[in-house]
Structure 1
Amino acid sequence: MGLLRRFGPLTRQELSRHLGLTEPAITGIMRRLADAGLVSGKKRPTTAHYTALEFSLQADAAYSLGIRLGAHGGEAVVMDLAGRIIQQRAFAQPEETKEAVLHIRHAAGLAGKLLGCGIALSAGAPFDRKTIEDSLALDVGPLFFLDDTEAAVNAEHILGIGDREGGLVIVIIDETVRAGLLIGGRPFRGVHGLAGQIGDMRSGVDGASLNEVASLPSFKDYLAAHPGETDGWVAIAARHLHEAVLAISGFIAPGAILVGGALPDDVFEAIIARLSRERDDKIRDLVIAPWIPTVQRASFPWAGVAVGAALRPFSETLLPDDRP
């Protein structure tokens, strides 16, 4: 089902190549999924004499909710089985979460089964799981909690850039700067679940931390002191972020490094352009620099945190669990 969600309709032969299973085995699997109402088959349009049967997901067979929740609000989404976002609503305060969920459920008019709700929490969120459970108090099925960095890397892995050789890293910039890591197809959290907390990393001649010079609060402070001018902040933030990219590349050597979060789109584009120039400068000076991946924009708005949260109920109930 994960293959059908990522690649669209596939034949038995194509599924066999992807999974390394025999076509009779694929036939049995697809028959069980069809009996459950999760997939359907039809002849693939072709001018050839032989027309293969291709299988696709029944998008309206099941749905999930995903919530990105932080100290200053978030967003709620409804996702169908095919991975499409069919309703979305942002909210400014955590107390508005329940209203947002009620709105998107009503607007979506869900015909299929609601499998549950994934809730992605930002680091340092000022509420615990029990408080969230009590505040929702809705019939949304089981709740699945995860960190926002894990949600972001899952969104990229499953619906975004995919499984890159060497893994991937996604840097989220909002109230703090932090990173999600995907290594060997699995989110990496570290022994204490704190892997990727790079916001306190100090770099540059000024020894400033990323939270001090590359976060959303630092951007707002700069704008307050320099109305309408962002170039200075971008230059400082990109210089310090590039030091983090160098450190990550040296230890992990990921196949891709992405950035996303709460900054305006044009500011993210300016940071990425500046990081590219920093990388080019290193290539002229360092032999190792060509191994530094080019930083890219995340595939989804807000780094795909709500998307990744909505994927969790599917992985817990219908799809193979890729987590350790």
Structure 2
Amino acid sequence: MGNAPDFVWPLGDQLVDGPPPLAAVGVGDLRAANAAAVLGAIRAADLPPRVATLAEATGLSRPTVDVIVDDLIGSGLVEEAAAPPARGLRSPGRPARLFRFRPSAGFVLSVDVRSRMIRAGLADLDGRVVAGRQRAVRAGAGGRARAGAVVAAVNSALEQAGVPAERVCAATVGTPGVVDPDNARIRQADNLEGWADADVAGVLGAALGCPVAVENDANLAALGEHWQGAGTTVREMMFILLGERLGAGIITGGRLLRGHHGAAGEIGFIHFPLPASAGGGSDLPGLRWAGREADVIAAAAAGAPEAVAVLESIGRRLAEGVAPVLLALDPALVVVGTGLFADPALAAAAELVRGAAERQARSLLVDPPEWQLSRLADDAILTGGFRFGLAAVERILSTRPTSLF
């Protein structure tokens, strides 16, 4: 469908409460609305429905439903389902046609851009992940080279799944830095050389022929955790991305908070307190380590006292730095996620940071939130990218489904 001008990213700043208003209802509009109603009834049914069931659910005539179902089958969104085995006497005549949604009719792509690696994943229209690939990239690679690595990782994921590019309905690129409110460009990415000038949305859109959004990686991690991770039961939460950079994604009222400039959650610019061993105070933004993070984490997981003290200090300093943000937002939950603890053997080290942060927050806040480690671990950003893209596709499916292809 290309980069259609009316394509909307509902989980970005393009707030959408329902279908776009229509000044007049033409035949095409009515047909699209009826197709959306029939498709919605098929997807909502516990068992594959027949035409009569769909007519009753939508209020449309059976001949109209017959025509619409054939259109949906032609688009690939619906297929006929096999009838269950007959019991007892079989009625004469042709068996009733049964229908079901085809989630493999289309796909969404999610990309996680990091300084040394690109990860790409592919999911069907039900959100089931069908492929995943990663590609190494030099930390100092320029923007054009990094954008090329994104395209290569995406093509590899498509090849793995055997899916042609024209079946991709939308793609989301999770990236460090500040993203413009329209989710089209990266405005600032200090840790990736030339990345803000690379126009990765345009490059990937040209390769795929579908709409592409860019979104801050911590924001996507928050969406992913709220959708399928630790935050599924809350409406107010913060996801803290603790790794090669520091950032946060904020969910408030069940929605992603991006801020006026798209920079909400950029906690890496906070001047965090330095540990007492470094003289206290705070002179530089960010939660800075003493270096050699991997060695410290491994030692802490093994119980080395000095390494344990370092990670607990990180947790306390994290809580102290974000305490004013937590006072302002009053979240129910703070989720800490990081690729630094991706190995399950390092779980004890991650718990040191989380536990120290939660204890420190309790001493600073009137109503302290619960602190949890990410349940999605290294997949939080990719999962959020799937959620971001699927929300846009769902809007098409609920208004004009046959236009998706």
| TM-score (structure 2 length as normaliser) | 0.59
1:297-321 residue CA offsets vs partner (Å, 9 max, x unmatched)? 2232335112222333322233389
Contact 2:112–2:118 (Cα < 8 Å) also in 1 = yes
**Structure having the larger proportion of residues in strand:** 1
Of 130-139 and 308-317, deviating more is 130-139
1:141-183 residue CA offsets vs partner (Å, 9 max, x unmatched)? 2222211122122222333345544411111122221100011
1:221 correspondence with 2:292: yes
| Secondary structure of the structure 1 residue equivalent to 2:222 | helix
Matches within 5 A, 1:237-256: 237-244=314-321, 246-256=323-333
Counterpart Cα distance in 1 of 2:328 and 2:315: 20
- Do the aligned partners of residues 286 and 76 (structure 1) sit closer, same or farther apart at CA in structure 2, a change above 3 Å counting? closer
Paired residues, number: 285
1:102-146 residue CA offsets vs partner (Å, 9 max, x unmatched)? 211111012782113211111114313644257545235222221
The offset of 1:96, in angstroms, is 2.7
| TM-score (structure 1 length as normaliser) | 0.72
Identity of aligned residues (%): 20
The offset of 1:42, in angstroms, is 7.9
| Secondary structure of the structure 2 residue equivalent to 1:75 | strand
Counterpart Cα distance in 1 of 2:349 and 2:162: 40
Residue 48 of structure 1: aligned partner: none
* Structure 2, gaps ≥5 residues long: 1-42, 47-55, 85-97, 138-145, 178-188, 301-306, 398-405
Counterpart Cα distance in 1 of 2:347 and 2:286: 16
1:64-98 residue CA offsets vs partner (Å, 9 max, x unmatched)? 11111133222011111111211111222135322
Counterpart Cα distance in 2 of 1:223 and 1:113: 40
Of 122-131 and 141-150, deviating more is 122-131
Bigger Rg, which one: 2
Contact 1:210–1:240 (Cα < 8 Å) also in 2 = no
1:116 correspondence with 2:193: no
- Do the aligned partners of residues 150 and 27 (structure 1) sit closer, same or farther apart at CA in structure 2, a change above 3 Å counting? farther
State the AA in 2 paired with 1:264. F
Q: 2:368 aligns with which of 283, 292, 301?
A: 292
1:209-265 residue CA offsets vs partner (Å, 9 max, x unmatched)? 67243xxxx364355799845423312211111224533332212122111122123
Contact 1:164–1:256 (Cα < 8 Å) also in 2 = no
1:40-67 residue CA offsets vs partner (Å, 9 max, x unmatched)? 7989x9xxxxxxxx99753212111111
1:272 correspondence with 2:316: no
Q: 1:80 aligns with which of 124, 137, 141?
A: 124
Contact 1:222–1:233 (Cα < 8 Å) also in 2 = no
Counterpart Cα distance in 2 of 1:57 and 1:115: 16
Residue 221 of structure 2: aligned partner: 152
Counterpart Cα distance in 2 of 1:159 and 1:175: 24
1:305 correspondence with 2:381: yes
Residue 200 of structure 2: aligned partner: 132
Contact 1:238–1:271 (Cα < 8 Å) also in 2 = no
State the AA in 2 paired with 1:315. A
Counterpart Cα distance in 2 of 1:304 and 1:57: 27
State the AA in 2 paired with 1:92. A
1:15-56 residue CA offsets vs partner (Å, 9 max, x unmatched)? xxxxxxxx945999xx7796665467989x9xxxxxxxx997
Counterpart Cα distance in 1 of 2:99 and 2:231: 21
Counterpart Cα distance in 2 of 1:227 and 1:255: 31
| Secondary structure of the structure 1 residue equivalent to 2:208 | coil
Counterpart Cα distance in 1 of 2:234 and 2:81: 34
Contact 2:201–2:213 (Cα < 8 Å) also in 1 = no
1:59 correspondence with 2:138: no
Residue 150 of structure 2: aligned partner: 97
Matches within 5 A, 1:38-57: 38=77, 57=101
- Do the aligned partners of residues 299 and 184 (structure 1) sit closer, same or farther apart at CA in structure 2, a change above 3 Å counting? same
Counterpart Cα distance in 1 of 2:116 and 2:355: 31
Counterpart Cα distance in 2 of 1:286 and 1:228: 29
